[in-house]
């Protein structure tokens, strides 16, 4: 936080505030926007709060605005189609399900509105003159890099249990620490996260995984008891020693792999975290005799079950499965093209780069160098092999050619000839030339 940095509210934001002020209304920039502005971070979402109701705001913005929810959020479409959200001062009463307020009432003051917010660094407001309203010491906590709840931590987490995940996520994103009472309250209330939907937990987890140092966020989740409630399977790797080139236990290696992932895809990062989670489940032997045979097979199934709990889409589940299932692929200069094609077919071309990212992270997480001549050679071969035929459809001849040359009608014979040709091409990709294959078809007469 640069104490000498002069903050400014962009003109596009002041333009949204202007109609409110001209009509004698209160309007403030609020929440994460204020926090990020003070931290000199890019503000991705400009949020506002006002004493006007949505119906009153609609009179100020009859065009390019909409309001269709029960939370009092009014959306204004500004320049370049950017959407600005303005929320009426409100008071939330009761959280029977630890997820949603039982009742929302319009508030009368900014102070009451800020009281309902989650953390002190999100409970600040700025007016158009840059006057800061900070009733809970958010600015001080920003300077001290603390995540602290507004007043009672137990009450804030009782209102919405997801706030516990959000506390960890914000700490991870900003490089902050949890204030002691906030941390202890999360430990005390961790089991309440079970009341939160898998989708909401997934969204916060993905944001943690997308941070610059995601392993720190996962470690905080572990230390405050949330990981045990979300992905307990991961904790089985704590203290499980490996062998050979591995100097860390399974848990530590998984964290290092995650931190070394160069892919931005949160599913790939999740795969990095989960890639070895089944090792404790299949472990046999001790010391240098210890084995983890087929941990990738078992792990892919467990990873999918975790993904289902987190409500991943079918496509995301497929990606997670493939990355964990096939991450133990062989990198060798003596591999045949056929073996490399089989690997590509298993992973699919769509996820090939993600698999490369996982394997690179796995290497670095094991203490190995980022690359080697074998690794570079293998990546080059992947590029070359992808140019070869992967299926009968990619042969330079088709069923029409077979029927014409052999003078036969559609039937099983056509498929048998094409399968035979493809088998030869798999062994020797250079044979996939039209003239060569047409000559080979004649041998089936």
Q: How far apart are CA 118 and CA 342, in angstroms?
A: 51
Q: In the predicted model, what is the mean pLDDT of the chain?
A: 90
Q: How many CA atoms lie within 13 A of 382 on its CB side?
A: 21
What is the dihedral angle through the alpha carbons of 438, 439, 443, 445, rounded to the nearest 10 degrees? Answer: 50
Residue count of the chain: 445
pLDDT at residue 205, rounded to an integer: 98
* Structure confidence at residue 445 (pLDDT): 77
pLDDT at 292: 84
- Is the confidence at residue 197, as pLDDT, over 90? yes
Q: What residue ranges do the domains of the chain occupy?
A: 11-138, 145-230, 234-385, 392-442
Per-residue pLDDT of 285-295, as tens digits, reads: 787 777 788 89
Q: What is the pLDDT of residue 69?
A: 65
**Residue 104: pLDDT band with limits 50, 70, 90:** low
What residues does 75 pair with on adjacent strands?
Answer: 66, 85
Question: Which letter, b or e, does each residue of 165-195 get, where b requires 16 or more Cβ atoms within 10 Å of its Cβ?
Answer: bbbbbbbbbbebbbbeebbebbeebbebbee
Band (pLDDT 50/70/90 cuts) for residue 33 is very high
CATH topology of domain 234-385: Hypothetical protein af1432 (1.10.3210)
With 80 as the cut, is the pLDDT of residue 70 above it?
no
More confident residue, 369 or 277: 277
Residue 422: pLDDT band with limits 50, 70, 90 = confident
E strand or H helix at 87? strand 83-88
Residue 402: strand, helix, or coil:
helix
- Give me the mean pLDDT over the 244-268 stretch: 91
Q: What is the largest CA-CA distance in the chain?
A: 92
**Torsion region of 268: left, alpha or beta (phi above 0 gives left; psi -120 to 50 gives alpha):** alpha
For residue 5, is pLDDT > 70?
Answer: no
pTM for this predicted structure: 0.84
CA 134 to CA 150: how far, in whole Å?
Answer: 11
* Confidence at residue 360, expressed as pLDDT on a 0 to 100 scale: 92
Residue 444: its pLDDT value, please?
Answer: 86
What mean pLDDT comes out for the span 375-391? 77
Nearest-angstrom CA–CA distance, 24 and 27: 10
**What pLDDT, on the 0 to 100 scale, is given for residue 184?**
98
Question: Which region, left, alpha or beta, applies to residue 116 given φ > 0 means left and ψ of -120 to 50 means alpha?
Answer: alpha
Could you tell me the CA-to-CA distances from 320 to 60, 64, 201, 315 in Å, in that order? 48, 41, 17, 9
Confidence category of residue 304, pLDDT binned at 50, 70, 90: very high
What kind of fold does domain 11-138 have according to CATH? Beta Polymerase; domain 2 (3.30.460)
pLDDT above 70 for 92: no
Residues 186 and 152: beta-carbon distance below 8 Å: no
Q: What is the pLDDT of residue 382?
A: 83
Tell me: pLDDT of 4 over 80. Answer: no
- On the question of pLDDT at 385 being above 80, the answer is no
CATH number, span 145-230: 1.10.110.30
User: pLDDT tier at 389 (50, 70, 90 boundaries)?
Assistant: low
Reported as a single tens digit per residue, the pLDDT across 113-130 is 999 899 999 999 999 999
Res. 93 pLDDT band, cuts 50 70 90: low
CA–CA distance, 49 with 110 (Å, rounded to integer): 8
């Amino acid at each position: 936080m640069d104490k000498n940095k002069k903050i400014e509210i962009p003109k596009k934001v002041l333009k949204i505030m202007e109609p409110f002020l001209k009509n004698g209304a209160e309007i403030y920039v609020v929440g994460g926007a204020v926090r990020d502005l003070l931290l000199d971070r890019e503000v991705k979402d400009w949020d506002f709060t006002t004493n006007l109701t949505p119906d009153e705001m609609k009179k100020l913005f009859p065009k390019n605005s909409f309001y269709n929810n029960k939370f009092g959020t009014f959306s204004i479409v500004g320049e370049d189609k950017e959407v600005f959200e303005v929320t009426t001062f409100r008071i939330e009463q009761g959280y029977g399900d630890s997820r949603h307020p039982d009742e929302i009432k319009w508030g009368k003051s900014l102070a009451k509105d800020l009281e309902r917010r989650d953390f002190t660094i999100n409970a600040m407001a700025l007016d158009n003159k840059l006057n800061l309203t900070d009733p809970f010491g958010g600015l001080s906590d920003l300077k001290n890099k603390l995540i602290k709840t507004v007043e009672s931590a137990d009450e804030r987490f009782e209102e919405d249990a997801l706030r516990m995940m959000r506390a960890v996520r914000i700490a991870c994103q900003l490089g902050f620490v949890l204030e002691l009472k906030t941390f202890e309250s999360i430990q005390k209330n961790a089991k309440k996260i079970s009341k939160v939907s898998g989708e909401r937990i997934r969204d916060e987890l993905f944001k943690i995984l997308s941070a610059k140092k995601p392993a720190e966020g996962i470690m905080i989740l572990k230390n405050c008891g949330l990981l045990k409630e979300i992905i307990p399977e991961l904790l089985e790797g704590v203290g499980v020693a490996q062998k050979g080139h591995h100097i860390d236990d399974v848990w530590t290696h998984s964290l290092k792999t995650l931190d070394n992932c160069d892919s931005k895809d949160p599913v790939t990062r999740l795969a990095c975290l989960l890639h070895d989670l089944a090792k404790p489940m299949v472990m046999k032997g001790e010391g240098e005799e210890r084995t983890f045979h087929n941990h990738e097979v078992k792990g892919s199934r467990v990873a999918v079950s975790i993904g289902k709990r987190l409500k991943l889409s079918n496509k995301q589940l497929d990606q997670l499965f493939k990355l964990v299932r096939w991450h133990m692929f062989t990198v060798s200069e003596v591999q045949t093209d056929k073996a490399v094609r089989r690997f590509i077919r298993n992973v699919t071309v769509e996820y090939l780069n993600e698999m490369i990212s996982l394997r690179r992270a796995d290497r670095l997480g094991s203490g190995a160098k980022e690359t080697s001549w074998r690794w570079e050679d293998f990546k080059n071969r992947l590029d070359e092999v992808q140019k070869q035929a992967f299926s009968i459809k990619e042969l330079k001849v088709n069923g029409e050619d077979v029927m014409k040359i052999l003078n036969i009608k559609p039937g099983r014979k056509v498929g048998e000839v094409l399968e035979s040709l493809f088998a030869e091409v798999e062994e020797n990709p250079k044979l996939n030339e039209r003239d060569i294959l047409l000559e080979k078809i004649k041998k089936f007469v």
